[in-house]
A and B are shown apart, each in its own frame.
Chain A
């Protein structure tokens, strides 16, 4: 089944404790992206990647890191999480850039206390 897999689905952590949210897609998509979704603010792009070893900042990159060492994987790293990073996170991938729209992962609900 073609899909984007995120893990974990739910995570509660403490301020300052490094964490990684994994994202993997099995559709051989070149383009991958991370979004966060907050009430009243909608979906905001954190980072995106056009292909292996090619990443760039989105609209809200502060406090996040990414890497793209393999085509299928695009992990999101929070080196020192803070409560304002409490949010619902989505990974998305797309074939041939974004022309055909995204396929989203199932989401990760992160709470930083």
Chain B
């Protein structure tokens, strides 16, 4: 069973601070990694993708991947109340992903004004 694990939260962070979201995956051969943001009752929105070890930055968001530790994280700098949402980690498992992405259950992030 290929699994993606996330702490469900809620994770509460003060406005302006750095929010750190973590994700581990069980399939060592996993190839591609994604972070989605989902507001309550809305559809998931792709915010970051990362394919190789290291950091990838896009505005206030940084994705970090460590394949040896089977760990991917998302950092949100200068957190804003509008960042309050559920963040889903998704992985393309070994085999190329023909049968789709595997999603974690999400971490509920709350940014306190």
Contacts and interface: CB of A to CB of B under 8 A. Distances in A.
A33 B101 CA distance: 10
Contacts of B46: 101-103
Given A41-B105, A56-B99, A97-B98, A105 B43 contact: yes
Given A43-B88, A99-B32, A104 B44 contact: yes
A102 B35 CA distance: 11
Contact of A101 (B90, B98, B106): B90
Given A42-B104, A42-B105, A43-B88, A98 B43 contact: no
A107 B49 contact: no
Interface in B96-113: 96-101, 103-106
A104 B36 CA distance: 10
Interface of A: 33, 40-43, 45, 48, 50, 56, 58, 88, 90, 97-107, 109
